[in-house]
C-alpha cells in the first residue's frame, strides 16, 4: 500500500508523452462537456476527430500533407546544405567571416512571415516562394550554429593534428568538422523545427493545398474543428521529425554523450 | 649495445617569449638557452606559471619565439616539425576515431599503403599493450589507457624529438608508476630525445638524464642537475645522491619549507 504512489509515479515517469497527452485530453473533454464555450470556438475532441476523418476520407488530408511535407523537405534541404557550407567557410576563413558574418547576423531577427511579400514578388505564388521562405529561415539558423561550432573547436585538437603533420585538407575533414559536428547537428535540429514553423508562413504566399493553406480555408468557414485537427497534425509532424533527426544525430555523433 | 643516436639534437638559443595581453605584454620566458643531446631524456621542472610549458610549446612550434631561436639538427623551428612528436596532459585523442584510427591518423604523413599503415598502427598499439582495445573509442578507455594510445600515436611515426607536457599529471599514482616503466621501455627502444615537462620531482628523478629547474617570475632556468644513476631507479637509501638532489630541488621550489 505504501509503495503504491511511488509505483504510479514511476509508471508516469516512464510513459513519456502518453500520460501528458491523456491528461490534456481529459481536461479538454471535461471543459467542452461543460458547454461553457460554444462548439464553434472550442470544438470537442470527438468533433476534431470526426473532422480529421472527414479530411482523410475526401482526400484533402493526403494532398495537404504531401504538399506541405515536400515544401518543408525541399526548403529544409536547400537551407541546411547552404547553411552548413557557408558556416564551414565563415567559420574557418577569416576573409569569409569578415565579409559575411556580420551581414548574416543582421538578417537573423527578420521573421519568415515578413519575407512573404518579397518572396511573392521575386518568385511568384508558385512553389519557388515557399522554398525561398523556408530555406531562408533554416539557412540562417544552421549557418549560425555551424559558424559558432567552428569557433569552439578545441585548440588541443588542432595542436595535436598539426604536430602529427596531417595536411590542412585532412585536418579540416577529419578534425575540424567532427569537432564542430555536435554544434552543426544542434543547428540542423533547430532547422527542422523552423522548417515547420515557416511552412505555415510560406503557404500564406498563395497556395491551393498544404496544411497552412487548409488552416486559412478553415478560418473562412469558421471550421475550428478542422483548425484543431490541422494544428495537432502539424505538432505531431514536428515532434516526430525532431525525434528522427535526433536519433540520426546520435548515430552520427556517437562519441558525444548526453 | 646502445647504438649512437645522431638525430634529435635540440638547440635553444637565447629564446624569449612575450605574449600580448590586454593593455600590454607579459614575459612568459626570459632569454633561455638549452641544448638537448641526441637521445637524451631531460626534465623541465618548476612551479606553475614558470614558463616550462611555454618553452615546450615553442619547441613544438605552437608558439613563435619573440627573440632567439630554436633549431633541431640545424633546422630552425618555425612551426610544427616532422621531427617532433608531442604528448599532451589531456591526451588530445580524437573521440570520433577508435584507438587504432587515432594511431593511423598520425601515420598519414608517411603516405604508406593502407595495409602497411594498419600493420604499423597495430604494432604501435601492441607495443603499449593495448592490442585488445584497438577498436575501442577513447571514451571507453581509462586515463592510463588513453595516454598509452597517445604515446603509440606519437611514437609510431618515428619522431626524433618527443615533447611531453605533464603527460601523467592527470593519472593516479599507481597508474603513473606503470606508465613510467612503459615510457622508459619505449624510449630505450626508439631512442628519441625527450623533453619532459613535470612538476613532480620524484617522476623527474626516476626517469631522466638531466633535470633543468625553472623559477617563475620571470621564467628562466636556474639550475641543472645531471643524473647518472642506472635505470630502473628507486628513490631509496641505495641512491643517496637522488635523495639529496630531491631535497635540494624541493627546497628551491618551496623556499619557505
Please judge whether A159 and B62 are an interchain contact, meaning their C-beta atoms are less than 8 angstroms apart.
Answer: yes
Q: pLDDT (tens digit, 0 to 9) for every residue of chain B, 257 residues total? A: 455 778 999 999 999 999 988 888 888 999 999 999 999 999 999 988 888 999 999 999 999 999 999 999 999 999 999 999 999 999 999 999 999 999 999 999 999 999 999 999 999 999 999 999 999 999 999 999 999 999 999 999 999 999 999 999 989 999 999 999 999 999 999 889 999 999 899 999 999 999 999 988 778 899 999 999 888 888 888 888 999 999 999 998 887 65
- What strands lie across the sheet with B41-45, from one edge to the other? B84-87, B161-165, B193-198, B41-45, B210-215, B220-226
Closest chain B residue to A181 measured between Cα atoms? B96
CB interface of B with A, residues 157-216, below 8 Å: 157
Distance CA A104, CA A102 (A): 6
pLDDT value at position B75? 94
Q: In 3-state terms, chain A is what percent helix, strand and coil (to 5)?
A: 80, 0, 20
Interface of B with A in 47-66 (CB under 8 A): 60-62
Cα B30-B48-B172 angle, rounded to 5 deg? 145
pLDDT values of chain A reduced to their tens digit, one per residue, 258 residues: 455 567 777 776 777 778 888 899 999 999 888 888 888 888 999 999 999 999 999 999 999 999 999 999 999 999 999 999 999 999 988 899 999 999 998 998 888 888 888 998 999 888 999 999 999 999 999 999 999 999 889 999 999 999 999 999 999 999 999 999 999 999 999 999 999 889 888 887 778 899 999 999 999 999 999 999 999 999 999 889 999 999 999 999 998 864
- CA angle in degrees (0–180, nearest 5) for B40-B45-B49: 135
**What local confidence, expressed as pLDDT, does residue A41 receive?**
87
Optimal mutation site among A165, A254, A257, A258, interface B, most CBs of chain B within 10 A: A165
Residue A39: per-residue pLDDT: 84
CA distance B104 to B100: 6
CB-based contact A255 B137, cutoff 8 Å: yes
Size of interface A-B (CB pairs under 8 A): 62
Contacts of A157 in chain B (CB under 8 A): 92, 94
In this structure, are residues B85 and B159 in contact, taking their beta carbons and an 8 Å threshold? yes
pLDDT at B1: 42
Residues of chain A numbered 181-200 and touching chain B (CB < 8 Å): 181
pLDDT at residue number A143: 96
Helix (H) or strand (E) holding B29: strand B24-36
> Quick check: B92 and A159 CB within 8 A?
yes
Instruction: Determine contact: A177 vs chain B, CB below 8 A.
Output: no
**What pLDDT is recorded for position B21?**
86
Distance CA B69, CA B79 (A): 12
CB contact under 8 A, A164 and B153: yes
Peptide bond into B218 cis (omega under 30): yes
- Contact (Cβ atoms closer than 8 angstroms) between residue B72 and residue B8: yes
pLDDT (tens digit per residue) in B123-147: 999 999 999 999 999 999 999 999 9
ipTM of predicted assembly, 2 dp:
0.90
The CA–CA distances, whole Å, from B223 to A170, B44, B163, B248 equal 43, 10, 20, 11
Instruction: Give the whole-angstrom CA distance, residue B168 versus residue B200.
Output: 10
Q: What is the pTM of this model?
A: 0.84
Task: Please tell me the distance from the alpha carbon of residue A203 to that of residue A127, in angstroms, as a whole number.
Answer: 9
**What pLDDT score does A1 carry?**
46
Give buried/exposed letters for A158-180 (b at 16+ CB in 10 A, else e). Answer: bbbbbbbbbeeeebeebbbbbbb
> Does residue B129 come out as left (phi exceeding 0), alpha (psi in the -120 to 50 range) or beta?
left
CA distance readout (Å), B47 to B44, B53, B170, B221? 10, 11, 17, 12
* Chain B interface includes A168 (CB < 8 A): no
| β-strand pairing of B75-76 with B67-72 | antiparallel
Q: Do A160 and B94 touch (CB under 8 A)?
A: yes
Measured between its terminal Cα atoms, the distance across chain B in Å is: 44
Give CA separation, A255 vs A177, A182, A252, B153, B206, in Å.
14, 10, 9, 19, 37
A-chain CB neighbours of B82 within 8 Å are 165
Preferred mutation among B57, B83, B96 to probe A, highest tally of A CBs within 10 A = B96
**Shortest distance, CA B121 to any CA of chain A (angstroms):** 14
DSSP assignment of A107-169, as one string? HTTS-GGGGHHHHHHHHTTSHHHHHHHHHHHHHHHHHHHHHHHHHTS-HHHHHHHHHTT--HH
C-alpha distances in Å from residue A194, one per residue of A140, A149, B170, B231: 10, 19, 43, 65
The single residue listed with the C-alpha cell 638532489 is B245
Amino acid at each position: 500500500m505504501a509503495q503504491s504512489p511511488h509505483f504510479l509515479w514511476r509508471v508516469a515517469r516512464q510513459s513519456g508523452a502518453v500520460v501528458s497527452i491523456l491528461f490534456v485530453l481529459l481536461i479538454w473533454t471535461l471543459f467542452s462537456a461543460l458547454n461553457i464555450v460554444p462548439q464553434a470556438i472550442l470544438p470537442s475532441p470527438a468533433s476534431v476527430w470526426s473532422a480529421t476523418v472527414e479530411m482523410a476520407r475526401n482526400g484533402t488530408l493526403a494532398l495537404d500533407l504531401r504538399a506541405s511535407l515536400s515544401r518543408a523537405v525541399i526548403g529544409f534541404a536547400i537551407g541546411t546544405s547552404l547553411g552548413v557550407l557557408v558556416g564551414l567557410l565563415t567559420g574557418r576563413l577569416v576573409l569569409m567571416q569578415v565579409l559575411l558574418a556580420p551581414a548574416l547576423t543582421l538578417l537573423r531577427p527578420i521573421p519568415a512571415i515578413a519575407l512573404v511579400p518579397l518572396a511573392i514578388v521575386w518568385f511568384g505564388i508558385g512553389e519557388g516562394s515557399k522554398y525561398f521562405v523556408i530555406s531562408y529561415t533554416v539557412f540562417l539558423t544552421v549557418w549560425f550554429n555551424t559558424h559558432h561550432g567552428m569557433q569552439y573547436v578545441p585548440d588541443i585538437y588542432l595542436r595535436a593534428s598539426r604536430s602529427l603533420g596531417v595536411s590542412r585538407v585532412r585536418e579540416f575533414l577529419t578534425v575540424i568538422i567532427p569537432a564542430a559536428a555536435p554544434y552543426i547537428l544542434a543547428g540542423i535540429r533547430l532547422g527542422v523545427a523552423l522548417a515547420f514553423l515557416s511552412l505555415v508562413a510560406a503557404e500564406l504566399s498563395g497556395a491551393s493545398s498544404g496544411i497552412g493553406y487548409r488552416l486559412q480555408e478553415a478560418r473562412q468557414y469558421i471550421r475550428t474543428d478542422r483548425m484543431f485537427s490541422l494544428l495537432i497534425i502539424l505538432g505531431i509532424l514536428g515532434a516526430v521529425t525532431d525525434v528522427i533527426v535526433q536519433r540520426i544525430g546520435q548515430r552520427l555523433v556517437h562519441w558525444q554523450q548526453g | 649495445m646502445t647504438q649512437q643516436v645522431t638525430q634529435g639534437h635540440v638547440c635553444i638559443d637565447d629564446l624569449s617569449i612575450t605574449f600580448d595581453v590586454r593593455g600590454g605584454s607579459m614575459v612568459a620566458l626570459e632569454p633561455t638557452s638549452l641544448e638537448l643531446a641526441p637521445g637524451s631524456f631531460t626534465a623541465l621542472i618548476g612551479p606553475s606559471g614558470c614558463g616550462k610549458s611555454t618553452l615546450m610549446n615553442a619547441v613544438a612550434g605552437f608558439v613563435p619565439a619573440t627573440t632567439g631561436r630554436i633549431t633541431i639538427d640545424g633546422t630552425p623551428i618555425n612551426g610544427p616539425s616532422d621531427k617532433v612528436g608531442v604528448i599532451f596532459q589531456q591526451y588530445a585523442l580524437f573521440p570520433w576515431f577508435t584507438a587504432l584510427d587515432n594511431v593511423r591518423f598520425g601515420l598519414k604523413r608517411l603516405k604508406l599503403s593502407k595495409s602497411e599503415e594498419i600493420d604499423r598502427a597495430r604494432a604501435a598499439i601492441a607495443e603499449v599493450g593495448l592490442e585488445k582495445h584497438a577498436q575501442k573509442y577513447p571514451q571507453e578507455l581509462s586515463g592510463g589507457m588513453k595516454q598509452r594510445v597517445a604515446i603509440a600515436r606519437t611514437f609510431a611515426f618515428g619522431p626524433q624529438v618527443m615533447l611531453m607536457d605533464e603527460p601523467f599529471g592527470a593519472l593516479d599514482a599507481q597508474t603513473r608508476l606503470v606508465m613510467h616503466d612503459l615510457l622508459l621501455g619505449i624510449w630505450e627502444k626508439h631512442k628519441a630525445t625527450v623533453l619532459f615537462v613535470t612538476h613532480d620531482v620524484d617522476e623527474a628523478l626516476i626517469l631522466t638524464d638531466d633535470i633543468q629547474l625553472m623559477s617563475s617570475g620571470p621564467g628562466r632556468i636556474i639550475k641543472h642537475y645531471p643524473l647518472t644513476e642506472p635505470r630502473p631507479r628507486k628513490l631509496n637509501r641505495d641512491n643517496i645522491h637522488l635523495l639529496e638532489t630531491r631535497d635540494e630541488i624541493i627546497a628551491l621550489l618551496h623556499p619557505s619549507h
